[in-house]
Structure 1
Amino acid sequence: MIEVLTDMPDGVTGIRASGRISGEDFRAFAPTMAALGAAEEIRIVEVIAPDYEGFGPGGLAEDLKMGFGTLLRHHAAFKRIAVVSDKDWVRHTMHALGWMVPGEVAVFGLDDLDEAKQWAAG
């Protein structure tokens, strides 16, 4: 499931990924992605919940299509992405591949969500 978090600073979009994410979840999230792409600056707090299990049917294909589409069209708008998770593989992946993400990327633990919000807004 992908849910939009509402308790975010101005100009920051909060996203929470949990369970197994399907293609339908991404299609339901498309309007939020479109609004993000229309913003002058893209600042995101992405929370990977403890129960996140990865992709379900069609999830990976939709993620790649939506993610790369937004990235290619709005590359310069990406300013800060805070990834919030206690999963070791998330931290390792972001440290290994974060250089490919435009803008600044930082990884925070779940207990540091407020700090992640402040950092993304800064």
Structure 2
Amino acid sequence: MIELLPDMPDGVTGFRVSGRVSGQEMRDFKPTMERLLKSDEIRLVEVITEDYEGFGPGGLAEDLKMGIGALVRNHSAFKRVAVVTDKEWIAHTLHALGWMVPGEIALFSEAELDRAKQWAAG
């Protein structure tokens, strides 16, 4: 499941990812992502919950299509991405592949959500 987070600082978009994310959920989220990508500055807080299981049918393919397209079209707009999670495999993946994400990227634990919001806004 993908859901927008309320109570974010001005200029920051937050969303929570939980459970198993299907291709249909990614397609449903696409209009939200397209609105976000119209901004000159993209600042994100992505919370990946403990019950996140990865992608379900078609989820990975849709994520790659949306993500690669966003990076190519809006590379310079990405300013800060805060990833909030307690899942070790996400942290390891982020450390290995974080260089591919434009702008600054930082990892926070779920207990540090408020700090992540402030960092993304800064």
Q: Which amino acid aligns with 1:63?
A: D
Matching residue of 2:36: 36
Q: Separation in 1 of the partners of 2:94 and 2:62?
A: 20
- CA–CA separation in structure 2 for the residues paired with 1:35 and 1:43: 13
Q: Which aligned segments of 4 or more residues in structure 1 are displaced greater than 6 angstroms? A: none
Q: Which runs of no fewer than 5 residues in structure 2 stay unpaired?
A: none
Following the alignment from structure 1 to structure 2, what is the Cα–Cα distance between the partners of residues 4 and 66?
A: 17
Q: Which residue of 1 aligns with 2:2?
A: 2
Output the amino acid matched with 2:87: K
**CA displacement at 1:31 relative to structure 2:** 1.1
Which position in structure 2 is the counterpart of 1:118?
118
Partner of residue 86, structure 1:
86
CA distance in 2, matches of 1:25, 1:63: 10
Report percent identity of matched pairs.
70
Find out whether 1:24 has 2:24 as its counterpart: yes
Question: Is residue 102 of structure 2 the alignment partner of residue 102 of structure 1?
Answer: yes
1:46-61 equivalences under 5 Å are 46-61=46-61
Give unpaired runs (5+ residues) of structure 1. Answer: none
How far apart, in 1, do the equivalents of 2:15 and 2:72 lie? 20
Root-mean-square deviation (CA, aligned residues, Å) is: 0.6
TM-score, normalisation: structure 2: 0.98
Give the number of aligned pairs. 122
- Secondary structure of 2:7's counterpart equals coil
SS of 2:106's equivalent in the other structure is strand
